[in-house]
């Protein structure tokens, strides 16, 4: 199971939101590259980088942050937030992303998302399945859809998706544990999927439990920034 720290970007700065609420923003570092280098120094190999400005504005915004991290570290960066068009995804890959995560575009413009799967390959395109009360949310979690998250993931798995990042928005940023039941249900229903858990991971025990469930990865955000999980504690999982 891969350990994947998250860096969320607003105005070029490393921030965290609570339950996706842009009004509940906390700045942790004004220099995301410093944060990424610290992760790399502790043996981390992969990074989840989210352009929150892009998610809100519906086009890529903070690609310069991506370019700096990709060019000045050895981290494999998966990048998401505001990737809606062929131009957006080209910018992301040109700036050094190893993978991109598409959520809103998969809901709003499935033909484009499927085209990306075919053009770039299922190892490059991650499906972002962010849900609140099981309904898929889009556009930086500002808008709800009527899609059930399990049906959404199953449908895209049948269309060629291999990697899925699933965030239970109700858990995100609260440091109260991840959505074990949802992840287990998804793994039981779609066993071939490479599922990456995101949202609510708070303790080392959470990571152990998710590993025992055979998830492919776990994204850790606020727990790292608030010191609930120490980078050195992650050594045994790397």
What's the N-to-C CA distance of the chain in angstroms? Answer: 8
DSSP label at residue 84: -
Question: Among the options 130, 168, 172, 206, which is catalytic?
Answer: 130
Structure tokens at 174: 């609260």
Q: Tell me how crowded residue 94 is: count the other CB atoms within 10 A of its CB.
A: 11
State the maximum Cα–Cα separation within the chain, in Å, rounded to a whole number.
43
Alpha helices in the chain (DSSP H): 32-41, 52-57, 63-72, 86-94, 104-108, 110-120, 149-158, 180-189, 204-212, 222-225
Concerning whether 78 is annotated as a catalytic residue, the answer is no
Exposure pattern of 126-161 as b/e (b: 16+ CB <10 Å)? bbbbbbbeeebbbbbbeeebebebbebbbebbeeeb
Spatial separation of the C-alpha atoms in residues 32 and 73, rounded to whole Å: 12
Sign (positive/negative) of CA torsion 45, 220, 77, 100?
A: positive
Q: Are 135 and 149 in contact (CB under 8 A)?
A: yes
Concerning whether 53 is annotated as a catalytic residue, the answer is no
* Residues acting as catalytic residues: 8, 130
């Amino acid at each position: 199971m891969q350990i994947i720290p998250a860096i969320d970007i607003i105005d070029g700065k490393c921030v965290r939101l609570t339950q996706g609420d842009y009004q509940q923003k906390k700045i942790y570092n004004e220099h995301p590259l410093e944060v990424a280098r610290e992760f790399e120094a502790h043996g981390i190999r992969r990074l989840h980088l989210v352009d929150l400005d892009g998610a809100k504005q519906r086009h890529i915004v903070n690609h310069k942050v991506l370019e700096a991290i990709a060019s000045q570290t050895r981290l494999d960066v998966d990048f998401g937030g505001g990737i809606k068009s062929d131009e957006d995804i080209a910018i992301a890959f040109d700036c050094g992303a190893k993978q991109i995560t598409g959520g809103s575009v998969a809901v709003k413009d499935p033909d484009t998302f499927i085209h990306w799967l075919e053009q770039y390959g299922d190892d490059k395109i991650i499906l972002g399945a962010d849900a609140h009360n099981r309904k898929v949310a889009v556009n930086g979690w500002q808008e709800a859809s009527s899609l059930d998250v399990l049906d959404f993931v199953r449908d895209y798995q049948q269309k060629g998706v291999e990697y899925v990042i699933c965030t239970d928005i109700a858990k995100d940023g609260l440091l109260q544990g991840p959505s074990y039941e949802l992840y287990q249900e998804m793994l039981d229903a779609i066993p071939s999927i490479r599922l990456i858990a995101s949202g609510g991971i708070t303790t080392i025990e959470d990571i152990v439990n998710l590993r025992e469930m055979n998830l492919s990865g776990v994204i850790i955000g606020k727990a790292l920034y608030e010191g609930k999980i120490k980078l050195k504690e992650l050594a045994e999982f790397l």
